[in-house]
């Protein structure tokens, strides 16, 4: 069970490859891996977004992500989970968030990955400020999934 | 009691303060704490609060040495 | 929209990295990527499985996977999809199937990836033969997800 | 009419035949085709059939030159 806050760009596939190669989770035990990657789009609500600034609450953000990881692990009997979230300045096409879970069967993996994303978006202390052509503004709320 | 108060994101920018250590009477609730620290600004309807990095109700009463954070609705993740 | 049947081992993360780097789907357009990887476990119904042989129906397997890709693309307005399935002989820890979808928002990605896996497991012409300590046997049916 | 008949997986192994081209009367249904090609073996309850690589009902009638495949329940994917 791993949670990481990164202030520089990351390649979700390279990160997953390294994570699995390092032996977590144990090979042969899991049959299902579900991954979600959230990427910065170049539009939001029909307006061009040029860049994004992501603020977090150091300590609490990690604690919240660990809390939901524990909840998902217990509820779906996960073999492992990984949450990675970017902070700082981002540009379109860059990954913002990665959620991955490993389980014996696919039902648990599908449900747990979706649960983690919804819990992350609704309560993890992270805030986005969008830089558009007409200026910068804090995003007011997340849309339901 | 002494409380470390923190503000994040739009709230931090608007108030022009990120953190401030304050001394307030015992039994000051988190809601009352806001009024003491930011008397010029009404408490936003959608504000969230955390006590020592855990979500907490605005009516709860912190202890001496606690860190209390106020922040707007969260907007992390993507997709 | 891509479908591949592979008769040699593959690294799902390297494959996804190459696929995205080749420019499909277009960067900045998608906000959500959902991926499912099914991996060979070393047990099934409480028995050790040493290896697996996967047979397919060349032509029909690809046609079925393309058919469900089109169905998912239309239903969830996907920006792209990728299905990769192994055939031939496999060993525990090896990936069997990869499903990936790209969309503007996460709801579509979560639902479409799960739909594709269920449609694949229930109707794609593919058959598994397990090699166990006590001999080889064809798997009789898939478990519901 | 001439039909290319194919068998897959456990069915292929049990019958000892992967494909066979047969000549059958016009209006032979897929169910009847089985009996003509594998008279020694009753049609399995859970058998699936495809006509030119698309799922088809056992009662349907193929055309000259069609490829008809019989196979057991599918077991692809993982997880």
Query: pLDDT averaged over chain C?
Result: 93
Is the pLDDT at B56 greater than 80, yes or no? yes
CB C61 within 8 A of CB C85: yes
Mean pLDDT of D31-39: 97
Chain C interface residues (partner A, CB cutoff 8 A): 11, 13-14, 16-17, 20, 27-42, 92-93, 104-107, 109-110, 113-114, 117, 143, 145
CA distance A67 to chain D (A): 26
Confidence of residue C142 (pLDDT cuts 50, 70, 90): confident
Mean pLDDT of C30-55: 88
Q: Is the CB of C39 inside 8 Å of chain D's CB atoms? A: yes
Residues in chain C closer than 8 A to D6 (CB atoms): 57
CA distance C28 to chain D (A): 31
Residues in chain B closer than 8 A to A84 (CB atoms): none
Question: Which of D69, D73, D77 faces C57 most closely, judged by CB atoms?
Answer: D69
Q: Going from the N-terminus, what domains does chain C have, and what CATH number goes with each?
A: 2-138 (3.90.1170.40)
pLDDT at C144: 72
Question: Contact partners of A by the rule of 3+ C-beta pairs under 8 A?
Answer: B, C, D
Burial per residue of C73-93, b for 16 or more beta-carbon CB atoms within 10 angstroms, e otherwise: beebebbbbbbbbbbeebebb
Q: How far apart are CA A93 and CA A30, in angstroms?
A: 31
Q: Is C139 helix (H, G, I), strand (E, B) or coil?
A: coil
Are residues D78 and A31, on separate chains, in Cβ contact within 8 Å? yes
What is the per-residue pLDDT across C25-38, written as a single tens digit (0 to 9) for each?
887 889 999 999 99
Locate D8 and state its tokens: 């897959």
Partner D, chain C 102-141, Cβ-Cβ below 8 Å: 117, 120-129, 138-141
Residues in chain C closer than 8 A to A110 (CB atoms): 36, 110, 113-114, 117, 145
Contact call for B and D: 3+ CB–CB distances under 8 Å:
no
Are residues C32 and A29, on separate chains, in Cβ contact within 8 Å? no
Q: How far apart are CA C109 and CA B11, in angstroms?
A: 33
What is the per-residue pLDDT across C68-77, written as a single tens digit (0 to 9) for each?
999 999 999 9
pLDDT at B61: 98
Q: Is the CB of C77 inside 8 Å of chain B's CB atoms? A: no
Is the pLDDT at D70 greater than 90, yes or no? yes
Partner B, chain C 80-109, Cβ-Cβ below 8 Å: 103, 105-106, 109
C137: left (phi over 0), alpha (psi -120 to 50) or beta: beta
Crossing angle (nearest 10°) for helices C60-76 and C106-123? 150
Burial of residue A2 (number of CB atoms within 10 Å: 0-12, 13-18, 19+): middle
Q: Is A112 helix (H, G, I), strand (E, B) or coil?
A: helix
What residue of D is the nearest CA neighbor of A33? D79
Residues in chain A closer than 8 A to D79 (CB atoms): 31-32, 105-106, 109
Confidence of residue C41 (pLDDT cuts 50, 70, 90): confident
Is the pLDDT at C121 greater than 90, yes or no? yes
Locate D24 and state its tokens: 């059958």
CB–CB contacts below 8 A, B to C: 9
pLDDT at A45: 64
pLDDT at A15: 97
Are residues A129 and B69, on separate chains, in Cβ contact within 8 Å? no
CA distance D63 to chain A (A): 41
Please provide the CATH number assigned to the domain covering D2-71: 3.10.20.30
**What pTM does this model have?**
0.95
CB D72 within 8 A of CB D46: yes
Are residues C31 and A14, on separate chains, in Cβ contact within 8 Å? no
Question: Taken in order D8, D9, D12, D14, is the CA torsion positive or negative?
Answer: negative
Q: Name D15's Cβ contacts closer than 8 Å, sequence gap at least 6.
A: D7, D38, D41
Q: What is the 3-state secondary structure (H, E, C) of C110-124?
A: HHHHHHHHHHHHHHC
Give the helix ranges, DSSP H, for chain B.
9-15, 30-37
Query: pLDDT averaged over chain B?
Result: 96
| Higher pLDDT among residues A46 and C86, named by residue | C86
Is the pLDDT at C110 greater than 90, yes or no? yes
Question: Which of A28, A40, A110 faces C114 most closely, judged by CB atoms?
Answer: A110
Average the pLDDT over each of A35-39, B17-21, B60-64, B75-79 and give the range with the smallest value.
B75-79
| Higher pLDDT among residues C132 and C15, named by residue | C15
Residues with pLDDT less than 70, chain A: 44-46
What is the per-residue pLDDT across A109-142, written as a single tens digit (0 to 9) for each?
999 999 999 999 999 999 999 998 889 999 988 8
Average the pLDDT over each of B54-63, C16-25, C53-62 and give the range with the smallest value.
C16-25
Question: Taken in order D35, D39, D45, D48, is the CA torsion positive or negative?
Answer: negative
- CA C141 to chain centroid: 17
DSSP string, chain D: -EEEEEE-HHHHHHHT-SEEEEE--TT--HHHHHHHH-TTSPPPTT-EEEETTEE--TT----TT-EEEEEPPP--S--
CB C127 within 8 A of CB D74: yes
């Amino acid at each position: 069970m791993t949670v990481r806050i990164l202030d520089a760009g990351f390649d979700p596939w390279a990160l997953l490859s390294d994570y699995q190669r390092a032996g977590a989770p144990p090979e042969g035990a899991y049959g299902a891996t579900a991954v979600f990657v959230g990427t910065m789009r170049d539009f939001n609500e029909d307006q061009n977004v040029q860049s994004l600034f992501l603020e977090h609450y150091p300590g609490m953000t990690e604690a919240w992500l660990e809390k939901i990881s524990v909840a998902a692990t217990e509820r779906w009997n996960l073999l492992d989970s990984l949450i990675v979230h970017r902070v700082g300045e981002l540009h379109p096409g860059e990954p913002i968030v990665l959620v991955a879970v490993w389980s014996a069967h696919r039902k648990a993996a599908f449900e747990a990955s979706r649960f983690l994303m919804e819990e992350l978006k609704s309560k993890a202390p992270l805030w986005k400020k969008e830089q558009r052509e007409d200026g910068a503004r804090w995003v007011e709320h997340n849309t339901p999934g | 009691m002494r409380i470390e108060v923190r503000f994040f994101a739009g709230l931090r920018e608007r108030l022009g303060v990120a953190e401030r250590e304050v001394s307030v009477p015992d039994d000051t609730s988190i809601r009352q704490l806001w009024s003491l620290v930011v008397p010029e600004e009404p408490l936003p309807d959608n504000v969230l609060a955390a006590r020592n990095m855990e979500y907490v109700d605005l009516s709860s009463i912190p202890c001496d040495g606690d860190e209390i954070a106020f922040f707007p609705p969260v907007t992390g993740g993507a997709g």
